[in-house]
Amino acid sequence: MSEARRSTPALEVKGLDVYYGHSHALQGVDITLQNGVFSVVGRNGMGKTTLCKAIMGLVPTSGGSVRIRGEEATGLSPARVARLGVGYVPQGRRLWRSLSVNEHLELAAGMRRGPWTIERIYETFPRLGERKDHGGSQLSGGEQQMLAISRALLTNPHLLIMDEPTEGLAPVIVAQVEEMLVRLGEDGDMSVLVIEQNIGVATAVSRNVAIMVNGRVNRIIDSARLAADRDLQQRLLGVGLHGDLGADVEASPARAEAGAAPQPARSKGPVRIFISNPALPTRWSQPVPIARIEAAARTATSVRSTPRAQNCASSATSLRRAACAPAWSTSPPPERLPPATSLRRRSP
């Protein structure tokens, strides 16, 4: 690669805006990736996957620009973006069930000459070599992710975009993917944009990490600082309400001096309990309709009568019927049927 091309940022996103209907998913996102590996982290629904899709031309943008190695890519089709030298590992792998591992790799190989070949893929991921004749649906989750990454690497891209590459993988496979990302950054021939929720992986593979909050890049922070600051991780990425995060990030000095507002008192009347999953969910479960959730809801009139009832009302586990149904049940248990042997007519 020429020195002039190396000096040009691999990816430059400026003021990117994306809407889904009336929802403003990306709000003026600015990201510059010069070379190496750059991580983007954030909670669910913060716009990370939408950012990947906007760069790849999979969703339309309403403002801003995307430049790949200095070339304008805004508004291009995904095929034309790929020809600019961009590889994409989507969330969810997106493999063909009817094609074998080797057929997947042969489809991607030859698009652009470079260091990555099918032989090198099998050396990097020996498990794929053992399963080369198996179909995409016959692979485990870790093997499918290896294949999705390998398919993108075989295009020998200048920029590789990976959307949560370690999601759902075993720790051993996560360590292998992390090691591969570190090597890619050290080689210098390929720049990598990694979208992650695993803080350990995100901080290990890149020097700086961008944190997305509500469709915006809230801050770009040093990886070592983010990895060491547990309080910062909790405030920016921990489980909680988005409103709490916005108050922490955007609070003015006057509001900080005023102190926290008093919490509203809880109502002492009946409490309506909603069960988000009336039936035990499986991997094939579909979203439960709101009408079904409301029909399965119950009213607790004596939640404060016993310590057990109070715990059920104040914690998340109170929504599980198995944990709290005995405390709210007012009907007597059903009578047991007599043993089957007692219903048989005795022979004379």
Q: Which domains does the chain have, with CATH numbers?
A: 3-85+157-241 (3.40.50.300), 99-153 (no CATH)
- Residues 191-237 have pLDDT tens digits of 999 999 888 899 999 999 999 988 999 999 999 998 888 888 888 77
Does residue 139 have a pLDDT over 50? yes
Arithmetic mean of pLDDT, 258-279: 59
pLDDT at 287 exceeding the cut of 80: no
Q: Kindly give, in sequence order, each residue whose CB lies less than 8 Å from that of residue 290, ignoring residues fewer than 6 positions away.
A: none
What is the average pLDDT across 91-102?
A: 83
The pair of structure tokens assigned to 97 is 């069930």
The answer to whether 203 touches 226, Cβ cutoff 8 Å, is: yes
- Distance separating alpha carbons of residues 139 and 156, to the nearest angstrom: 24
CA distance 240 to 196: 18
Alpha-carbon gap, residue 280 to 258, rounded angstroms: 46
Helix axes 171-187, 141-153, angle to 10 degrees: 10
Query: How many residues can be counted in the chain?
Result: 348
The rounded mean pLDDT for the chain is: 77
Place of tokens 């469709």: 215
Higher model confidence: residue 196 or residue 280? 196
Q: Which of 333, 277, 267, 256 is nearest to 300 (CA)?
A: 267
Predicted pLDDT at 260? 42
pLDDT higher at 153 or 255 = 153
Distance CA 174, CA 167 (A): 9
In tens, the pLDDT along 156-169 reads 999 999 998 888 78
Q: How confident is the model at residue 271 (pLDDT cuts 50, 70, 90)?
A: confident
Collapsing DSSP to helix, strand or coil, 160 comes out as: strand
pLDDT at 282: 67
Q: What local confidence, expressed as pLDDT, does residue 211 receive?
A: 92
pLDDT for 81 equals 94
Task: Please tell me the distance from the alpha carbon of residue 285 to that of residue 278, in angstroms, as a whole number.
Answer: 12
Q: Is residue 26 helix, strand or coil?
A: strand
Structure confidence at residue 49 as a pLDDT band (50, 70, 90): very high
φ/ψ of 283, rounded to 5, equals: -65, -15
Task: Report residue 137 as tokens.
Answer: 């649906």
What is the per-residue pLDDT across 301-347, written as a single tens digit (0 to 9) for each? Answer: 654 444 444 444 444 444 444 444 444 444 444 455 555 444 445 55
Other CB atoms within 10 A of residue 65 CB: 14
Cβ-contact 226, 233 below 8 angstroms: yes
Tens digit of pLDDT for each residue in 9-37? 999 999 999 999 889 999 999 999 988 99
